[in-house]
Amino acid sequence: MAGCALSLALLASGLLPASARAQDLQARPAAPPLPETPTSSTPTDPDQVQFSASGLEYDTDADIVTATGEVRMFRQGDRLRADKVVWNRKTGKVLATGNIAVTNPQGDIAYGDSIELTDSLKDGVVDNMLVVLEQGGRLAAKQGTREADGTVELRSAAYTPCAVVNTAGCPKEPTWKITAVSVTYRPDRKRIYYAGARLHLFGLPSLPLPKFSNPVGGGSDSGLLSPNGGYSRVNGFEVSIPYYVKLAPNQGLVVTPHLYTSVLPMLQADYSALSTRGAFSLRAYATESRRSDDLTTANSADTSMAFRGYLDGMARYQLTPNWSVSGSLRLTTDRTFLRRYDISRDDRLRSTASLERIDDSSYFALTGWYVQTLRVNDSQGQQPIALPEIDYRKRFDDGLVGGRVQLQLNTLALTRTDGQDTQRAFASAQWDLRRLTNWGQEVTFTAFARADAYNTNNTDATSIVSYRGLEGFHKRAIGAAAVDVKWPFIGTFLGGTQRFTPRVQLVAAPSIANTRIPNEDSRAVDLDDTNLFALNRFAGYDRFEDSSRATYGGEWALDLPGIAFTTNIGQSYRLGTRPTILPDGTGLSDRFSDIVGRSELRFRDFVSVVHRYRLDKDSLAIRRNEIDATIGSRASYVLVGYLKLNRNIDAAIEDLRDREEIRVAGRVQFARFWSAFGSGVVDLTNKSEDPLSVSDGFSPIRHRVGVQYEDDCLRLGATWRRTYNDTGDARKGNSFLLTLAFTNLGR
């Protein structure tokens, strides 16, 4: 209590204005009446008033009942608690004084110094009124009127959803509140209406507000949402003013005009719907502005005015416990619209549709997708349209030796408007048997077989020869057998537990006719710790590694109090001299593969460091070096990511370039509700790593720096962003964003 003395003194003294003292939002000492009835018997008459009190007086001449000392009154869900109640039975008026609390059936609690009610306990006049809403927030006024339907009319009133006490329980000024000449609370609509209102932020008055209303709790209704503002070099100053239209309890539409000083306005619409089976949402942008068709020139000229827009939608519905349907839609009118208006920085957009059935032992999917490229040098005609892909998988026990069998049927049709078309179908079966020996080894036996059928045409449209395959219809048979042995050793170390697990895998596979088949989904080959022991180290189905090989490695794990460390390393060796289809630079082209590994260190929930690497088998040069580190708590943290790819891949064979970059992000909470944040990406690639790169070895790509205040009822922030690269009309430069959001306002 001593710590609260100053706060109590300020709130009670004349240092605060009279209006603030009249609109007392602080909690009252009176406890609300409990919902239990005061007697054990249930009244037969619903209009009967039940009450209890320490003392009771009855004036027979005036027909007045006076109850004193912990008075409780109950009637049809309305409850009253007071120190003294005078009930005039002739007029039906009830006058309550002293530590008053009245609760309605909805759970709202009204406090006051004195209250005059009718004997129904539903309506009356309250002096120095405080209403604590069940849905969150509170209303206070010098005087208020409570109607029989629960409507509360307040004069010289204030409203806030914010906390009015600090963590120590001492009174404090709410972060924001609204004062008004008159306020009406409609519990049936869960909405508050104001007249003559002003918004006070951090105790400072703002400009007068127009006549408006806002919902309380989790409800929603049509109305304006929180506006946003910003600035960018290309578009100028921006103000966006969203308006929410409630179409139904489960459907809503947000219409947002974006107003700019340098370009024409843009209209944004967001529709969402939720049903018992699923959800659907669609976002659309539309405007008219100049765009650049030539994206390869540094100072490209803008075209004439053109319609520009973007669609972004998703839907998912669970039709039955096993069947579901889902889809996504992402389409834009041109390649720079999303970046220019700071909507997205994706370099490709994918639209999908899928019908799925999943149960305990099988999976079925009918899927299609369309890709729109936003990359500068990519041809849209070369982007595949997959329609359809059909995939079915069935898993069951073999019933003989206890292994597990998985069958798969798959078919895919890829169509391009200006490129190679491919159709594929295959059937496969995989058998796995896992056993533990008496000495603790984990042994897994695998047998795999697959039959493929491919048809392709217009192969000359594919520039990289190794991706084309042969024109026409071709078939292929695939087979492989493997045995995988792990032998974990566990013991104590430095007061904790350590585990060392050597691992050896043998894979046998015959020669496979890979080059006759087109390569659509197995182009990005990169050896790392995740696929070192894979049966097929190609990413997709179109290529299968047909080498017999031995793969070996080990993992060491250490668990100490608060500290966990794991590391693994491995390499493979091709047993035969048969030429490989894996290109140079992948780490798998020679008989000995490159050496790959991964290490992870965790210290409680404060430090996490992950390092992945690939070393050249001959020179031990670092071909892949990737570090991701997280240091800090949820409130203050630093994220650092570094990646260097030195794969030495010939550009005529592989379309992935070498790259080096660093990513940094962080947040610092410098006060209880204040924090600063930032992030940045820097391209460290130079011409020796990538001859086509325009980077000089240190080229920032973009960064973001900001500050934010956020508590239980307010979010206020400012962000500075800078982009360092021009792409057509998406020019480099600075942009600024201001955000302001109030709890229960703009919802």
Using the predicted structure, report yes or no on whether residue 44 has a pLDDT greater than 60: no
* Owner of token pair 């000995």: 592
Separation between Cα atoms, residue 199 and residue 716, nearest integer Å: 15
Highest mean pLDDT among 243-252, 368-377, 605-614: 605-614
State the burial class of residue 674 (Cβ atoms within 10 Å of its Cβ: 0-12, 13-18, 19+): middle
Using the predicted structure, report yes or no on whether residue 9 has a pLDDT greater than 50: no
Using the predicted structure, report yes or no on whether residue 347 has a pLDDT greater than 80: yes
Res 652: pLDDT: 61
Identify whether 502 is preceded by a cis peptide bond (ω within 30 of 0).
no
The arithmetic mean of pLDDT across residues 72-77, rounded, is: 80
Separation between Cα atoms, residue 737 and residue 726, nearest integer Å: 20
Separation between Cα atoms, residue 110 and residue 102, nearest integer Å: 5
Segment 469-497, tens digit of pLDDT: 999 999 999 999 999 999 999 999 988 99
The conformation of residue 300, written as its DSSP 8-state character, comes to: P
Segment 331-345, tens digit of pLDDT: 999 998 999 998 998
Return the structure tokens found at 474.
Answer: 């071709």
Using the predicted structure, report yes or no on whether residue 747 has a pLDDT greater than 60: no
The mean pLDDT of the chain is 86
The arithmetic mean of pLDDT across residues 138-164, rounded, is: 85
Segment 280-319, tens digit of pLDDT: 999 999 999 988 766 666 566 667 788 999 999 999 999 9
Using the predicted structure, report yes or no on whether residue 3 has a pLDDT greater than 60: no
User: For residue 502, what is the enclosing H or E element?
Assistant: strand 496-508
% of the chain residues with pLDDT over 90: 47
Segment 436-467, tens digit of pLDDT: 999 999 999 999 999 999 999 999 998 888 89
Which of 701, 692, 616 minimizes the C-alpha distance to 658?
Answer: 692
**In the structure, what pLDDT confidence band is assigned to residue 79 with cuts at 50, 70 and 90?**
confident
Which amino acid would we find at residue 571? Answer: Q
Residues 391, 367 contacting (CB under 8 angstroms): yes
The arithmetic mean of pLDDT across residues 619-637, rounded, is: 93
How many Cβ atoms from other residues are within 10 Å of residue 493's Cβ? 11
User: For residue 416, what is the enclosing H or E element?
Assistant: none
Lowest model confidence (mean pLDDT) among 134-143, 500-509, 563-572, 644-653 = 644-653
Res 171: pLDDT: 83
Using the predicted structure, report yes or no on whether residue 671 has a pLDDT greater than 80: yes
Using alpha carbons only, give the angle 65, 66, 70 rounded to the nearest 5 degrees.
130
**In the structure, what pLDDT confidence band is assigned to residue 615 with cuts at 50, 70 and 90?**
very high
Using the predicted structure, report yes or no on whether residue 537 has a pLDDT greater than 70: yes
> Residues with Cβ < 8 Å from 278, sequence gap 6 or more?
315, 316, 317, 318, 324
Return the structure tokens found at 664.
Answer: 């940094």
All domains in the chain, ordered by first residue: 50-221 (2.60.450.10)
The arithmetic mean of pLDDT across residues 208-221, rounded, is: 74
Separation between Cα atoms, residue 14 and residue 22, nearest integer Å: 12
**In the structure, what pLDDT confidence band is assigned to residue 17 with cuts at 50, 70 and 90?**
very low
Res 691: pLDDT: 58
Using the predicted structure, report yes or no on whether residue 326 has a pLDDT greater than 90: yes
Res 19: pLDDT: 44
Sign of CA dihedral 76, 77, 78, 84: positive
Three-state SS at 135:
coil
Give the C-alpha distances (Å, rounded to integers) separating 492 from 235, 487, 559, 735. Answer: 63, 17, 9, 56
Segment 688-722, tens digit of pLDDT: 666 556 666 788 888 999 999 998 888 999 999 99
Which of 592, 522, 590 minimizes the C-alpha distance to 552?
Answer: 592
Res 651: pLDDT: 64
% of the chain residues with pLDDT over 70: 90
Res 46: pLDDT: 60
**In the structure, what pLDDT confidence band is assigned to residue 88 with cuts at 50, 70 and 90?**
confident
Separation between Cα atoms, residue 646 and residue 587, nearest integer Å: 11
Using the predicted structure, report yes or no on whether residue 608 has a pLDDT greater than 70: yes
How many Cβ atoms from other residues are within 10 Å of residue 276's Cβ? 7
Res 316: pLDDT: 97
731 or 630, which is more confident: 630
The arithmetic mean of pLDDT across residues 399-406, rounded, is: 88
Q: N- to C-terminal Cα distance for the chain? A: 37
How many Cβ atoms from other residues are within 10 Å of residue 503's Cβ? 19
698-711 exposure pattern, b = at least 16 Cβ within 10 A, e = fewer = ebebebbebbbbeb
* Owner of token pair 């109640």: 85
Using the predicted structure, report yes or no on whether residue 21 has a pLDDT greater than 80: no
Return the structure tokens found at 371.
Answer: 């890709």
488 or 249, which is more confident: 488
> Residues with Cβ < 8 Å from 691, sequence gap 6 or more?
none
Segment 503-521, tens digit of pLDDT: 999 999 998 888 899 999 9
Separation between Cα atoms, residue 129 and residue 153, nearest integer Å: 11
Segment 309-325, tens digit of pLDDT: 999 999 999 999 999 99
Res 47: pLDDT: 63
Which of 702, 710, 698 minimizes the C-alpha distance to 735?
Answer: 702
Residues 78, 96 contacting (CB under 8 angstroms): no
Residues 539, 528 contacting (CB under 8 angstroms): no
**In the structure, what pLDDT confidence band is assigned to residue 383 with cuts at 50, 70 and 90?**
very high
Return the structure tokens found at 683.
Answer: 């391209």
Res 384: pLDDT: 93
Q: What's the pTM value of the predicted model, to 2 decimals?
A: 0.81
Res 637: pLDDT: 95
